[in-house]
Chain A
Amino acid sequence: MPLTLDDRDQALLNGAGGAAAALAMRVVSRTAEVMQAQRLIDITGAHIDSCLYNGQASVDFAQRLADGGAQVSVPATLNVSSLDLIHPELFRGDAHTAEQGRRLMELYEGMGCRPTFTCAPYQEDNRPNLGEHVVWAESNAIVFANSVLGARTHRYGDFLDISAAITGRAPLAGLHLDANRRATVVFDVSGLPERLTALDAFYPLLGHHIGRQVGKAVPVVVGAPDGVAEHALKALGAAGAAAGAVGMFHLVGSTPEAPTLDAALGGEPAAQTHAVTTADIRLARDQLTTSSSSRLGVVSLGTPHYSVAEFGRVVDLLDDRPIHPSVRLYINTGRSVANEIALRGWTPRLEASGVQIVTDTCTYITPIIEAVDGIAMTDSAKWAYYAPGNLGLDVAFGSVEDCVESAVRGEIVRDESVWADA
C-alpha cells in the first residue's frame, strides 16, 4: 500500500501553510515513503537535533525554514549545540564556527523551540508518557523515549525532526508500530555475578556489547535485578545507540513494555539468544580504552547530560576534596539541571574542588578541553566511543567512582576486582 496523505497533509504540501510548512511536509512525506508508511500520525512533541552546527548545510536548512515563516506546531525541545552560551569563555574554536553555531541556535529559538540545549530532554518537565507518539532525534534520547518512557519515536535524523515539529506529523512506521517494538534478540545476564550487575558501570558496557551485536534489531535483557535505576538504563541505551543502531531495548523487570520476557518478545520465540559472560563485559571495557597508560589528563562526565541524581553521586564521591592540579574534570549537563544543582548548593562545592560544569553542549563535540597531557577518562561508553575520532585523544573507560578517585589522585586508578570472573 502506498502512502496516503489526508486533506490537511495535502494542503500543507500544496503550500496552504506557507513555504516552510510545504518544505517540511515534503521531508516528512518522502521519509514516510522510504519507511513504507501508509499514513502519517499526529505527534505530541519533538526533540530537535538539527540545532547542532555541522557545517554550512545546518544553517542553510534552518535559514530556508525561517525565511519561509516556520513555526513549530507542537512543543519542541532543542538538543545540544556547538556552544556553551552560559560559559562562552570555554569555547576554544574559531570565530566563524562560533558565530554560525550561535546563529543556528537563534534560528531554532525563533521557530518556537524551547532553548533547552540538552541531549537529555527526558530530564526536562513534561516528558512524554507511555504510548505517546513523538519525533525525537539524538540517538540516546530516542532510545530513552522508546525504552524507558514507552513513548514512541523512530530513529530520526536532523531535518526530519524540525520538519515533524512544524507539521505536527510523523510517519506511521518503524518504532511507532507495535510489531516493530517487539524484541527479537535476547541477552541473558543471569550467569553474571551479582556484584557486576549491581554496578552502575556494568550498564553502559552491556549497552556497548549489545550495540555491537544487534545492529537495528530490538534487544531484550533478561536476568538483571528488577528496577534498574533510570541513570543506568540511560547509559545502557546511549552506549547501544552509539555502538549500534539501537532505537529501543527492553530490560525485563525495569522497562515498561517488558514486565516479562514473554511480553517483551510479544509471545513469539526469540530469533537469537546470547548468554552474556564476564569476558564480554571486560572486552567492552577494553574496546572503550585505547591506552594502558595511567597518566591522566582530563576526566569528562555527563554524556548524556548528567541528571540531578548523577550530580549528587559525584558530590558524595568527591566529598569536597580538590581535583589534582594536573587534571581537569568536566561535567556536561543541561541548563535546567545546572539550575537545580545550584539551588541545592552543589555548584559552589563542585567548583571549589575544581570541577568545570559545561552546559548547552558537550566536551566531545566542540573544542572546550584544553591541551591534554595524558589520557582522557570517562564514565560514558558513548564519550569513549566518539572522543578518539572527534578529539584525537586516548581514552579510558571507568566507573564514576574510579573517575572521581582518579581525578583526585591525578592518575588512573581502577578497581579491577569487580571485573574478575565469578
Chain B
Amino acid sequence: MRACGPMPEAERVLMPGEARGPVLHLEEPVSFWGGLDPKTGIIIDQAHPQVGESVVGRILVMPSGRGSSSGSSVLTEVLRAGIGPAGIVMQQADEIFVIGVLAAEELYDITVPVFTVDTATYTALAAASAVLMTPDGTITAG
C-alpha cells in the first residue's frame, strides 16, 4: 500500500459535461500510455490492480494520473474510436488527462466531463456501482 495518498483537493469542474455510467474504481493511479490498450480500451498495466478491466463507457473514479506524457494522445485516440471512458472523477487534478479531452473536443467535437472531488465524495463514489455527472458539477451515485 502507498504510504501517502494524493492530497485532497477542492471540488472542481475541469471539463464540463454530462455522463451517466457504471463506475470503474482505479485503486491506483494509471498511465494511459503503456497502461491502456488504445485499440481495445482495456487496462494492460501488469502491475495495476485493475489490469484486464475495460474503461469503455465507464466513469473512471481514480486518485490521480501518473506516468507518461503520451497519456493525453492515448485518451484522445480512445475517445475518437468510441472506446473511451464516459467520464473521469479524480481526487487530484491531472492536466495530462484534461489535455486529452480538450484535444478530442477540438478535433472531433467529443467531450467527457472531468471533475475533481474531495475525499468524502471520492470514497462514496469509489464504492458506488454507477454515477451521474451533470454540467453544473454535481455528482450523484446511482
Contacts and interface: CB of A to CB of B under 8 A. Distances in A.
Interface string A203-228: 00000000111111100000000000
B84 to A, nearest CB: 11
Interface stretch (B17-25, B66-74, B123-131): B66-74
A157 B71 contact: yes
Contacts of B108: 60
B107 A142 contact: no
A389 B45 contact: yes
Interface string B90-119: 001111101110111011100000000000
B46 A158 contact: no
Interface stretch (B27-35, B53-61, B134-142): B27-35
Interface stretch (A46-54, A253-261, A313-321, A367-375): A46-54
A281 interface: no
Interface stretch (A4-12, A238-246, A294-302, A327-335): A238-246
Contact of B14 (A23, A34, A137): A34
Interface in B3-58: 3-7, 14, 29, 31, 33-35, 38-39, 44-47
A160 interface: yes
Is chain A's binding surface mostly helix, strand, loop or mixed? helix
Interface residues of A, number: 54
B6 A215 contact: yes
Nearest to A53: B73
B77 A213 contact: no
Contacts of B63: 215
A278 B79 CA distance: 43
Contacts, number: 158
A388 B46 contact: yes
Contacts of B80: 55-57, 60
B70 to A, nearest CB: 6
A290 B47 CA distance: 10
B34 A158 contact: no
B67 A245 contact: yes
Q: What DSSP secondary structure best describes chain B's contact surface?
A: loop
B107 A27 contact: no
Contact of B102 (A31, A155, A211, A271): A31
Interface in A4-63: 23, 26-27, 30-31, 34-35, 49-50, 52, 54-58, 60-61
Contacts of A23: 106
Contacts of B106: 23, 26-27, 61, 64
B73 A159 contact: yes
Contacts of B74: 54-55
Interface string A265-297: 000000110100000000000010010000000
Contacts of A27: 99, 102-103, 106
A172 B92 CA distance: 19
Contact of B77 (A57, A160, A241): A57
B2 A213 contact: yes
Contacts of B77: 54-58
B46 A389 contact: yes
A31 B99 contact: yes
Contact of A244 (B38, B46, B66, B103): B66
A216 B95 contact: no
B66 A159 contact: no
Among B77, B98, B103, the most chain A Cβ lie within 10 Å of the Cβ of B103
The 7 closest A-B pairs by CB, nearest first: A157-B72, A55-B77, A157-B96, A137-B69, A57-B77, A158-B73, A57-B76
Given A31-B102, A34-B98, 4 more contacts: A55-B39, A60-B107, A61-B73, A154-B95
7 contacts: A31-B95, A50-B73, A58-B77, A174-B95, A215-B29, A216-B6, A272-B4
